[in-house]
Copies of this chain bind each other. A is one copy, B any other.
Amino acid sequence: MSSIPAKKSLVSPGRKPMISREDIIAAALKLLGPSRSVSTLSLREVAREAGIAPNSFYRHFRDMDELAVALIDMAGESLRQIIGDARQRATLEVSVVQSCTDAFMEQLRADDRLLHILLREGTVGSDAFKRAVERQLSFFEEELGQDLIRLAALKGSGLCQPALTAKAITRLVFTMGATVLDLPRDKQDELAAQIVKMVRMIIAGTQTLAAIGAKKTD
């Protein structure tokens, strides 16, 4: 992506920046929590937390919306990294599904603020914000779709509309994940188990439909 002060001379005369984009992002993250969403953050509040004057915010972001989009992009990249790792750790013993959902739930429980944002704020906020969330979700769907195809080929099981299946799984897991965040610790495991079952249900469904479709075309 591109940082805001796009035009930057090779040497930079003038006062050294006291604060970076990342510092502001960190400050914003510190303010966020289970009962505090990005859309309720004010510019002044973030600036206060970052220890800068309200106006200094503008040196790094055009407005709060741009900060929000930056947060979403970070969240998406972070989670894809995590899931990517989990994918590679998956063996023939531990299924990809189990491995990935485990990683997902672990990250949920780690109270990852970035993940919070990605899960729960896709439906409110500015258009730019919603589009950013949608983009990250579609990245996920794409990767998951590839996974499903690979998995089906490996196991020789059918696969009905991989893209659609990936979309269903992604959206379902993300909403369910969002509700997990509001649950007390002791109920989280229960819901986590439910999520895994739901995913298996969808996968079983796509395989069954594929089998029926194949039979019909015989």
A residues with CB within 8 A of B: 35, 37, 39-40, 119-121, 123-124, 126-127, 130, 134, 160-161, 164-165, 167-168, 171-172, 174-176, 178-179, 182, 194, 197-198, 200-209, 212
Number of copies: 2
| Residue from B124, B126, B130, B168 in contact with A172 in the complex, judged by beta carbons closer than 8 Å | B168
Neighbouring B residues of A119 by C-beta, 8 Å: 123
Q: How far is the CB of A202 from chain B (nearest CB, A)?
A: 6
Q: How far is the CB of A75 from chain B (nearest CB, A)?
A: 14
Name the residue on B nearest A201 (C-beta). B205
In Å, the complex CA distance between A107 and B177 comes to 27
Neighbouring B residues of A161 by C-beta, 8 Å: 197
Q: Contact: A35 with B206, CB < 8 Å? A: no
In Å, the complex CA distance between A160 and B197 comes to 10
Name the residue on B nearest A116 (C-beta). B123
Question: Which DSSP category, helix, strand, loop or mixed, fits chain A's interface?
Answer: helix
Residue picked from A37, A123, A179, A207, most chain B C-beta under 10 Å: A123
Neighbouring B residues of A209 by C-beta, 8 Å: 200-201, 204
Neighbouring B residues of A205 by C-beta, 8 Å: 200-206, 208
In Å, the complex CA distance between A40 and B121 comes to 14
A–B pairs, 19, beta carbons within 8 Å: A37-B124, A39-B39, A120-B123, A123-B179, A124-B124, A130-B182, A168-B172, A168-B198, A168-B202, A198-B202, A200-B205, A201-B205, A201-B206, A201-B209, A202-B202, A204-B204, A204-B206, A204-B208, A204-B212
Q: Contact: A127 with B35, CB < 8 Å? A: yes
Q: How far is the CB of A167 from chain B (nearest CB, A)?
A: 7
In Å, the complex CA distance between A176 and B169 comes to 11
Q: Contact: B201 with A160, CB < 8 Å? A: yes
| Residue from B171, B172, B179 in contact with A134 in the complex, judged by beta carbons closer than 8 Å | B179
In Å, the complex CA distance between A194 and B204 comes to 18
